[in-house]
Chains A and B, each alone.
Chain A
Amino acid sequence: MSEFDPNKAPVKRPFSLQLDLSKFEPATDAEKAQHETTRESTTFFRDGMRKLFKNPLAVGSMIVLVVILVTIIVAPMIVPYTYSGMITVNGKRDKTAKNLAPFTYSKMEQEAIDSGEKVFPHIFGTDELCRDYFIRVIYGARVSLSVGFFASLIVLIIGLLYGSIAGYAGGRTDLVMMRIVDVIYSLPDTLMVILLSVVLDQVLGQSLQGTALASIGTNMLSMFAVFGLLYWVGMARLVRGQILTIKNNEYVLAARAMGAKPSRIIRKHILPNCMSVIIISTALQIPSAIFTESFLSFIGLGVQAPMPSLGSLANAARQALQAYPYKLVFPAVGICLIVLSFNLLGDGLRDAFDPKLRK
């Protein structure tokens, strides 16, 4: 047969070989066991983390976020200025420190420096009300980040509860619950946000007077309420979809065959398996919340003055854009950095942990 032409295949005839027969003794079980190569044990989580840390964009954004976080926590302790008060020199209000450029000093400060005192530099300069701009940007970032976190948390809690009830119950309950979601989904969200923050501002403003919550500001609270009322629907849909797919897995059926109760099935089998997708989506929710907050603050519906937020700072800077462009640059760059880092980190998390994208 031509297909077995020996010249064309890399094979040998053994008859000419001299064999070393000692090598042809049976191998022991121990030797065989040693031969078997095993892969090192990894868990889902460890494997995901390994992938995450191999992703340069995700690692970079993590570093940026850590730097930002450390700065906004530490900076107010070091910088001797406050976000709401005028700069003071030796206890006196410094009215000359108006609209200073970065790393410059006012007349009064210059005199103080000349007389041998130390004055902390204005890293980002000052604003038109003689306030240190750096500390205002820091506080703005604080506000933006905490709005992002808490809004996402609210979205997560409501969405998770609603979605898991709809997904697990199924049938008519699911049908009704999901139609409600559809209705909320169909509302134009920007318009609703604006309307709600106007209405809630008035309603909350009166009822909160004198309570601890008042210090946060009614605008901020109404913003949380808006997130709670509108943005959970996406999360609810996601959770429901996850639960529907996981519910059909055979291990859930196996648990039922064992006699497991629904609460146990949700707790042990369903939730742990949709957790990674939920965490990823929450990580991606944060930048969108920050963005919405900045946008609302920019159009004047966000946090209350003198509390700054990156959006309101940008808005204020807009008026004197030609004279002091850096005032817009700092908060704008802040928003971009935060939002971009969260988005990249969220993408990285998804690549590393989403079971659908795993190779």
Chain B
Amino acid sequence: MSNVPLLQVKNLHTSFITDAGEVKAVNGISYNLDRGKVLGIVGESGSGKSVSAYSVMRILTDTGRVTQGEVLFNGEDILKYTPQQMQSFRGSRISMIFQDPMTCLNPVFTVGSQLREAIRIHTDRTKEQINARALEMLQLVGVNEPEKRLRQYPHELSGGMRQRVMIAMALACEPDILIADEPTTALDVTIQAQILELMQNLQKKMGMAIIMITHDLGVIADICDEIIVMYAGKVCERGTADEIFYNPRHEYTKGLIRSIPRVTEKHEKLVPIAGSPVDLLNLPKGCAFASRCECAMKICLTEQPEETWVNDSHIAACWNNVKRMYEESKGGEAR
């Protein structure tokens, strides 16, 4: 039991069928998530970071399909669940919060009724117990005057407050995993700090695992234990936060870290990544990042790099890394 990771994603592929053709949003990603860990998935828009989470939750839009792969929760493949099984699974074992809490809360019901509904679906508690639980959840997420808030409608709350309510709803049934899809992107910096602090505290208190999806490297650095860097539906690199930030091995990760402005007295010029994001409709042969990569080699244009171990807590899928490690091992032999 303890050896099986809480969530295993194996070689997941997801595509969207559009008028213009098949958009391959996720092209074979694999990762494991252990109990009580915070996993960050970072990437640009269109990198497939959100779609990979939607595939795990099985909440893709009509045009989306998981074409290949397995998602194992405690060793069970949830992609094989019936819709009914999935319904009771969602919310109770894995729940999700989204970027824009306004679109996720129904504007015609009060916060209280939506929160109670979330609790009622997955438990057989009495009315009083449900009410008490709703109140308790609001207190837990730091909503002031919770009794009053229960009777209010979503539009009467501020953005930060709504996100807190969303978190309360997501955590009401004590799920094992919370997937947070850009939870702070729509919020201001000071409110973002509040929400991140709240999520960290709740994680410590309730012990659930979190998958944090964001494009903001700052948010990732703040709260994640492990990080997955995605580009064009593939994992570029995955490892502990320190490994990714201080020992990046994929050229894309390096470029990302170089392109963020830093607080320094000396004015340094930013080093951006050249070019534009790839077109997912017709992905190139080799490495999708090759055309924007400064260090692209001939092999990068023809063959896809495989995920390779850098050390025990770090994987990179980059030919430059393979070359570097090869040279290092040769150098070691020569010595």
Contacts and interface: CB of A to CB of B under 8 A. Distances in A.
8 contacts: A3-B31, A15-B329, A23-B297, A24-B298, A35-B286, A36-B291, A39-B281, A54-B19
A27 B301 contact: yes
Given A6-B309, A9-B307, A32-B291, A23 B279 contact: no
B325 interface: yes
B326 A19 contact: yes
Interface residues of B, number: 48
B295 interface: yes
Given A4-B312, A33-B291, A39-B279, A10 B325 contact: no
Grouping DSSP codes into helix (H, G, I), strand (E, B) and loop, the B interface class, with mixed when no group exceeds half, is mixed
B282 A37 contact: yes
A211 interface: no
A3 B32 contact: yes
Most buried by A among B33, B282, B301: B301
Interface in A1-49: 1-6, 8-15, 17, 19-20, 22-27, 31-33, 35-39
B284 interface: yes
Interface string B15-54: 0001100000000001111100100000000000000000
Nearest to A1: B313
A315 B144 CA distance: 72
Contacts of A32: 290-291, 293, 296, 301
Contact of A11 (B19, B281, B308): B308
Interface of B: 3, 5, 8, 10-11, 18-19, 30-34, 37, 226, 275, 278-279, 281-286, 290-291, 293, 295-303, 306-309, 312-313, 315, 319, 322-323, 325-326, 329
- How many chain A residues sit at the interface, stated as a range, is 20 to 34
Contacts of B284: 35-37
Contacts of B313: 1, 4
Contacts of A38: 279
Given A9-B315, A24-B319, A39-B282, 14 more contacts: A2-B32, A3-B5, A4-B315, A8-B32, A14-B329, A17-B322, A26-B298, A27-B296, A27-B297, A27-B298, A37-B279, A37-B284, A39-B279, A51-B19
Interface of A: 1-6, 8-15, 17, 19-20, 22-27, 31-33, 35-39, 51, 54, 359
Contacts of A35: 284-286, 290-291, 296, 301
B315 A359 contact: no
Contacts of A26: 295-298
Given A2-B3, A32-B291, A14 B297 contact: no
Nearest to B294: A26
A20 to B, nearest CB: 8
B298 A23 contact: yes
A25 B308 contact: no
B5 to A, nearest CB: 6
Contacts of A13: 308-309
Given A32-B296, A35-B290, A12 B306 contact: yes
